[in-house]
Amino acid sequence: MAKTDILLKPSKLGDISVPNRVFMAPLTRNRAHDDGTPWEEAATYYAQRANAGLIITEATQMHPLGKGYIQTPGIHEPKHVEAWKEITRAVHAAGGRIFVQLWHVGRIRHSSIEPEGEAPVAPTAEAAEAQTFTKKGFEPTSKPRELTVGEIEALVADYAKAARNAMEAGFDGVEVHCANGYLLNQFLHSGSNKRDDEYGGSIENRCRFPLEAVDAVIAEIGAGRVGVRTSPLGEANDVPEDDPRALYTYFHGELAKRGLAYLHVMESFPGSDRSEEKRAVIEDVRKAWNGFYITNGGYDAERAAEALETGHADAVAFGRPYISNPDLAVRIAMNVEWAEPNQETFYGGGEKGYTDYSDATLKAA
């Protein structure tokens, strides 16, 4: 038995069964229409990757102001739901499972993005030191305005509505994006949340909106169809945190009480250092979670197998490798070398670098 065979063991997470532990990580590809309708070619793209134990879609805005980059898809309008139906149908026909990642960018937005002219919204009216992708290329993010408590309550309801839309669109579940410096992560971290009301200050207060959003989604579709993604090291999009160990011990612990389908942790970022100190934070906050755990961040097959063998994780989400190896789980099963992705076609463009990578092993299998 090959060492990597552990990645091919079936499992159950929440309400769904998965045939293997090789998951497809959410990947922003910027090929949707300007009105947020996903591109038709996404049906082929995701169906090619149906060999993954679970596909998690590209980040998908759950509200018009949740959009911060050009050509990202939404799931807040009936036309979005109709278009996603074609994609989930194609994935299911190919034997796969697919969750949609619910996204609100908060202050990682340029006001030239649709709905044009609207300032971003955030916990606090301070601009991020970050860039976003606009029609002109990369531009600094715009200064946000502070969300009122009434607006936060409305957004909680919008998360539930987006989850309902996801079910109507035929998704197997949703992943609530609490990572990578976007809205819910901006509420969690001390560097981006300077509020002094019940949504800011203490760790409990900073976790309030993310937990309310997760609870609203659970109430709508059931905990067995809900996953959450976090990035405790906060390395993207200007969200410093004073005490990630304490914050994520609490946050993951609260999530653990809710019986979610999974927790998905972005443990390291492409190009970031993997110091012992950072690793220790990840190991500590992982212990606060008791259910199905997906790890992500620069894994190859061998390290992924190790993460499962040691009990650190139950599945590994692969991002870049799934771009250039649509048949990644089959390649692992057949011990076939992985193709390298072309970075120039990651964001925007057409079929090139999207649906034209070889899936030779799938055809051979």
Q: Point out the residues that are catalytic.
A: 182
Handedness of CA 274, 277, 280, 282 (dihedral sign): negative
Evaluate whether 295 touches 267 at the Cβ level (below 8 Å).
Answer: yes
Minimum CB distance to ligand 8OZ, residue 68 (Å): 8
Smallest gap from Cβ 44 to ligand 8OZ, in A, equals 21
Which one, 68 or 173, has the nearer CB to ligand 8OZ? 68
Q: Give phi and psi for 230, each to the nearest 5.
A: -130, 165
Task: For the CB of residue 27, give the shortest distance to ligand 8OZ in the complex, in Å.
Answer: 8
Residue 179 C-beta: closest distance to ligand 8OZ, Å: 6
Task: State the Cα–Cα distance between residues 283 and 69, nearest whole angstrom.
Answer: 33
Supply the minimum distance, in Å, between the C-beta of residue 204 and ligand 8OZ: 25
Q: How far is CA 144 from CA 123, 192, 200, in A?
A: 9, 11, 17
Residue 258 CA to residue 291 CA, distance in Å, equals 10
In angstroms, rounded to a whole number, what is the distance separating the alpha carbons of residues 227 and 281? 21
Rounded to a whole number of angstroms, the minimum distance from the CB of residue 180 to ligand 8OZ is: 4
Q: Which residue's CB is nearer to ligand 8OZ, number 92 or number 278?
A: 278
Rounded to whole angstroms, the maximal C-alpha distance in the chain is 60
Closer residue to ligand 8OZ, CB minimum distance, 28 or 193: 28
Question: Cβ closer to ligand 8OZ: 49 or 109?
Answer: 109
Which ranges in 198-319 belong to alpha helices (H)? 203-221, 244-256, 276-286, 301-309
For 14-72, the DSSP string reads TTEEES-SEEEPP-----S-TTSPPPTTHHHHHHHTTTSS-EEEEEEESSGGG--STT-
Bridge-based pairing of strands 315-318 and 22-24 is: parallel
Return the number of the residue (28 or 186) whose C-beta is nearest ligand 8OZ: 28
Instruction: Report the chain's terminal Cα–Cα distance, integer Å.
Output: 19
Residues that bind ligand 8OZ (CB under 6 A): 28, 59, 69, 179-180, 236
Work out the burial of residue 356: count CB atoms within 10 Å of its CB; fewer than 13 is exposed, 13-18 middle, 19 or more buried.
Answer: exposed
In this complex, which beta carbon is closest to ligand 8OZ, that of residue 137 or of residue 311? Answer: 137
Taking the complex as a whole, the smallest distance from the CB of residue 257 to ligand 8OZ amounts, in Å, to: 25
167 — phi, psi (to 5°)?
-65, -40
Specify whether the CB–CB gap between 150 and 198 falls below 8 A: no
Q: How many CB atoms lie within 10 A of CB 243?
A: 12
